[in-house]
Structure 1
Amino acid sequence: MTYRSAIARQPDQFRHALEVVRPQLRKLDLSQFKNGTLVVTGIGASYEAAAVVTGELQRRGRRANTWRAVDLVEPGDPGDSIIVLSVGGRSVEPIAALNVHSQLPSLAITNEGNDPLSRAASTAIRYESGLDSLPSSIGFTGSLLAGGLLVDALGGGESFNWNDIPHIASEVLKTSAKKMARAGEIFRDQRAIDCVGAISAFGTAGEACLLIREAVRVPAGASDTLHYLHGPMESMDQATGILIFGDGREVRLAQELAEIGCAVLLVTASELPHDHKTLTVVKVPPLQNRVARAIVDILPAQLLAAELSDAAGLTDVPFRYSQTDTKVAMDETETQI
C-alpha cells in the first residue's frame, strides 16, 4: 500500500468503519466506563490519537486524562477505567499497562481485533482499516473515528453526524491537494519543522510531527500553541517551517512567522487568513466535535508529508531503524497487519 494511495482511500475507509464499529458499540456494556476518571492511552501515533479523544471527552464534560503507555507500566492509581488505542494491537507498552492495571475495566481500540491487546483488555472494538502505509495514515484516522464513536456512545448521543465524515474528508483532500505544490515549494529544504496546536489539535500536531520525521526524515517537534509562545518559537527563522492547526491565536502566530520568512502551513476554519508570502492556508469546516475536526485537520499534513517525501526521493521508502523489542510476537491465529 503506497502512502498516497492510502491517504486517498480514507473517505471510503471511513464508510466501512462506520458500518463495522456502530454494531459493536450497540452490543457492548459500557456501564463501567461511564463514571469516574477515564485514562486514555497509547504509544507513538496512537498516543496522539488518544490525546485527541481525551480532548473531546473533556469537551463533553468527562473527567479524562491522556497517559503515555510507558507511564502506566508501574502500579499506581491513574483513574477508574482505561481506553487504549493501538492500530496493530501488538505494542509492548500498552499491553504491559493493561496487565499491570488488570483490576481496572479496560477497552481496546485496534484495527483487526484479533490481537494481544484486545485479548488483554476487558472488552475491545475493531475498525478494520485494512492494510496501511508507511508512515501510517488510515490507521491513525481509523483509530480516531472509532474513538469518536465511542465517545458518543459513552455520552449518550452523537454530537456530530458521522455519516458526513467521508464526504467532508473527500472535499478537504481535494482542497488541500490544490495547495500542495505551493506548500511543497515553500517547505522544501527546511532544516526543521515545528507542529503546533491546542487541546485536541495538540494531538494532531503530534501526529503531523511523526509524519514529517518518518516520511521526510526532517527533525520535527510538537508544541501546544500557547506554550510555543513562551520560548520554543525563538529558534524559528527562514530555514525552518511550521504546521499550525487552529482558529484562534494560531492565526496570528502563522502570520507573524510568515512575516519573518518561515515556511508556514496553517490549517484553519477561520475565514480571515489567506496565502501570503511564505504562508499557505488550507481552510477546513468549523467542526465542533474535536475528533471529527482532527480527522480533517490531519489530511493536509498527510499530503504535505507526501509532497516533501517525493521531493526528497523518499517516496514509500522503508523505515531505516527497525526495532526488535517494541512488538509482541504473533501467533498463528493472528492476522498480519
Structure 2
Amino acid sequence: MSYRSTVARQPESLADTLAAAKTELAGMDLTPLASGVTVVTGIGASYAAAVVVAAELQRRGQRAFAVRSGEMMAGYDIADVVIALSHRGRSVETVEALRKLPKAKSLAITNDPESPLAKAAKYHIRLNNGSDATPSSTGYTATLLAAGLAVDAIYGESGTDWASLAAKTTEVQSHAAEKMPRLAEQFRNRRAIDCVGAGAAIGTADGASLLIREAARLAASGYETRHYLHGPMESMDASTGVVVFGDTRELPLAQNLDAIGCPTLLVTSSTAIQDTGKLTVVNVPASDNLILRGVIDIFTAQLLAAELSDAAGLTDVKFRYKQTDTKILDQAA
C-alpha cells in the first residue's frame, strides 16, 4: 500500500490493534514488570516511540528511561525490566539487547508472535495494524497504543479513554489536512527542517524528523525544547522550517521563529495563538496520558511528510540505502 493510504487507514488500524491487544492482555498478568528500573528500547522509529513510552512511565512515578537498542548490545546490566518495541520483531539490535540482558524481565511489542523478538521476551503483545508502508505510519501508532495498554496493565488503569482514539484520529487527521495546502506552500524547498518538543514530545519530534528524512530526503533533526533555545535554533531562517510540538514554552518559540520569517508548524492543544505570517497552528485534543498524546501529535507530521514527499517528486519511492545486517531474515529466525 502507498504511504498516504496507510496514513489514512489509521482509524481502522488502531481499532483493530486495540481489540487484539486487549484480548491478549485479558489473559496476561504483567504485574511482575512493575518493580525496579525500566528501560524502553527500540531502533529507528521504534526508539522514538520508546521515548514517548518512557516519558509516560516517568509521569506515573516510575524510574524509567529510553535507550537505543544499539547502545544495549554490550550487555551491561542497566535495567530490571525491558520493554522492547519493534514493528516486525526482527531488528537485530533490539533482539540482541534482550539476549544480552537475560536476567531482566522483558515485554516485546510486535506484529508477529513468532518473530525473534517475541521469542526472546518473556511476555509479548501482538499488534494488528495490517499493512504498513515506508515511512512507517500504522506500525508506529499501533506500537504506541499497545504500549499504552501495557502500561495500564502493569501499573493500573490510568483512566485513559483508549476506545475513543479511532474517532479522535479521524478528527485530527481531518483538521490537519485542512492546513496542508498552506504548509505545502511554506515548507517546500527547505534546506533543513528541525523538529522540537519537550518530555514525551522529544520522541514525537524525533519520529517526525525521521518521517521527513525518509519521505522527502530533507535534512531534518529532532531537539528538546529547552536545549533548542541554547543555540541550535540560531541556524534557522527563511530558507529552513521548524515543526514544534507542545503547549508551553513551545508557543513563544514558534512566535520567535515566525518573527524572523522562518516557516513554522506548531502542533498544540493550546488555543492561545493562531495562524499568522509564516506560522501555521494545528490544534489537537489535550491528554494527560503522554502516550495517547504522542499518537495524536504524530498525525500532522505524517501528513506533512507526505506533502513534502510529493513536492520533491518522491511519492512512495523506496529507500536508496539497502542494509544487509539490520533485520533477522525469516530463514534465520
In the alignment, what sits opposite 2:81? 81
User: Is residue 142 of structure 1 aligned with residue 124 of structure 2?
Assistant: no
Q: How far apart, CA to CA, are the structure 1 residues paired with 2:149 and 2:31?
A: 16
Q: How far apart, CA to CA, are the structure 2 residues paired with 1:331 and 1:152?
A: 36
Q: How far apart, CA to CA, are the structure 1 residues paired with 2:138 and 2:19?
A: 16
TM-score by length of 1: 0.97
**Post-superposition offset of 1:61:** 1.0
Deviation digits for residues 112-161 of structure 1 (CA, Å, limit 9, x no counterpart): 22211101111111111121011110000010000111111112113311
In the alignment, what sits opposite 2:40? 40
**Post-superposition offset of 1:329:** 1.4
Q: How far apart, CA to CA, are the structure 1 residues paired with 2:105 and 2:293?
A: 28
Q: How far apart, CA to CA, are the structure 2 residues paired with 1:75 and 1:14?
A: 34
SS of 1:331 mapped into structure 2: helix
State the superposition RMSD in angstroms: 1.0
**Post-superposition offset of 1:24:** 1.0
In the alignment, what sits opposite 2:311? 311
SS of 2:9 mapped into structure 1: helix
Q: How far apart, CA to CA, are the structure 2 residues paired with 1:115 and 1:223?
A: 33
Q: How far apart, CA to CA, are the structure 1 residues paired with 2:145 and 2:112?
A: 14
Q: How far apart, CA to CA, are the structure 1 residues paired with 2:53 and 2:283?
A: 22
Report if the CA contact (8 A) 1:112-1:128 is conserved.
no
Deviation digits for residues 240-274 of structure 1 (CA, Å, limit 9, x no counterpart): 10100000000110011011011101000011111
Q: How far apart, CA to CA, are the structure 2 residues paired with 1:292 and 1:234?
A: 32
SS of 2:330 mapped into structure 1: coil
Task: Return 5+ residue gaps in structure 1 as ranges.
Answer: none
**Post-superposition offset of 1:204:** 0.3
Q: Name the count of aligned residue pairs.
A: 333
Task: Return 5+ residue gaps in structure 2 as ranges.
Answer: none
In the alignment, what sits opposite 1:290? 290
Q: How does 1:242-261 map to 2 (within 5 A)?
A: 242-261=242-261
Structure 1 counterpart of 2:192, which letter?
Answer: A
User: Is residue 167 of structure 1 aligned with residue 167 of structure 2?
Assistant: yes
In the alignment, what sits opposite 1:185? 185
Q: How does 1:12-23 map to 2 (within 5 A)?
A: 12-23=12-23
**Post-superposition offset of 1:70:** 0.9
**Post-superposition offset of 1:331:** 2.8
TM-score by length of 2: 0.98
Report if the CA contact (8 A) 2:255-2:279 is conserved.
yes
In the alignment, what sits opposite 2:133? 133
**Post-superposition offset of 1:32:** 2.1
Structure 1 counterpart of 2:277, which letter?
Answer: K
**Post-superposition offset of 1:181:** 0.3
SS of 1:168 mapped into structure 2: helix
After TM superposition, the runs of 4+ consecutive aligned structure 1 residues lying more than 6 A away are none
User: Is residue 103 of structure 1 aligned with residue 110 of structure 2?
Assistant: no
**Post-superposition offset of 1:23:** 1.6
Q: How far apart, CA to CA, are the structure 1 residues paired with 2:209 and 2:113?
A: 27
